Structure 1
Amino acid sequence: MTFEEMVELAAQRKRDMPEGSGTAALLAAGPHAIGKKLVEEAAEAWMAARYESREALAGELSQVLYYVACMMASADLTLDEVYRTL
């Protein structure tokens, strides 16, 4: 899955809020809950980069990207809006 696909999936989960979806539950919990997970995964990525394998780092960074996508969906922020600031 690409980051773009992940962003779209998170936005779709916010629109549909399917029962049983972990992403929908996270979105319902709001930006504070998403932010806590984002910070946690960023710290784990940092530690993986310092002490673990490339595979572990890739896994942690994929989780960071997932929570970024969820935060974007929570705020109705588009990729274009983010890309304009790069």
Structure 2
Amino acid sequence: MSAAENVNFGESGLVPVVAQDANTGEVLTLAYANREALERTLESGEAHYYSRSRRELWRKGATSGNTQRVVEVRVDCDGDALLYKVEPRGPACHTGQKSCFFKALAGEGVGLALGGKKEEDDFGAMVRELAGTIAQRHREMPEGSYTAELLRQGRARVAQKVGEEAVEVVVAALAGERVAEETADLLYHLLVLLEEQQVGVEDVTRVLRERHG
């Protein structure tokens, strides 16, 4: 018997799917799946969903490159909701955010959601947002974009820029000035290199967590 037989797709033929980062536990998105999408997910190990607006099955990352490798699929106690535990490659949200749930209506993040600004910027969120923007530039390759032009020049040039920016950080540190600015430049170029190498921020995070643990 297929695992899909344990799922109640209801009258619409669809079941809600919550995608969760398997490493961090963060909820990434809420989507829907029909029987075919679930079966393809189980067969391929890649997240498949059903688009209600386009009325078609789609594989996450088919056009954006932001795929989700599914490590576990769970069904709730009533059989009418699914949980995909995934290892994401790139942001889940089309805005470039790691999670679609980045706007707060209540709680600590409400000021940001209503147009305010956190007193302390979230470094991790900023890195993820920047990585998402770089990934978008890579997909679209717009004219006039420094990121797109750098990627057009190829791997050797991107790697060279990382080396140059690293030297700038050393020079700034020895001079005792502009360390934050030069570090920001280095981080940006590192993220471009990661994008060129198809290595996600999540991959680096996982390595750091393993070493820290």
**2:164 corresponds to 1:77:** no
**2:188 corresponds to 1:66:** yes
User: What's the counterpart of residue 89 of structure 2?
Assistant: none
Shift in Å at residue 75 of structure 1?
1.3
User: What's the counterpart of residue 17 of structure 1?
Assistant: 141
Alpha-carbon distance in 1 for matches of 2:174, 2:157: 26
SS of equivalent residue, structure 2 residue 198: coil
Identical residues among aligned pairs (%):
35
Higher-Rg structure is: 2
Alpha-carbon distance in 1 for matches of 2:207, 2:155: 21
TM alignment of 1:6-45, pairs within 5 A: 6-45=130-169
Structure richer in strand, relative to its length? 2
SS of equivalent residue, structure 1 residue 2: helix
Runs of 4+ in 1 over 6 A off after TM superposition: none
Gaps in structure 2 of 5+ consecutive residues: 1-124, 209-213
Gaps in structure 1 of 5+ consecutive residues: none
Alpha-carbon distance in 2 for matches of 1:16, 1:26: 13
Alpha-carbon distance in 1 for matches of 2:140, 2:168: 30
Q: Which has the higher contact order (CA 8 A, sep 6+)?
A: 1
Alignment match of 1:46 (pick from 159, 170, 179)? 170
Q: How many residues align?
A: 84
TM-score normalised to the size of structure 1? 0.91
Superposed CA RMSD in Å reads 1.2
TM-score normalised to the size of structure 2? 0.38
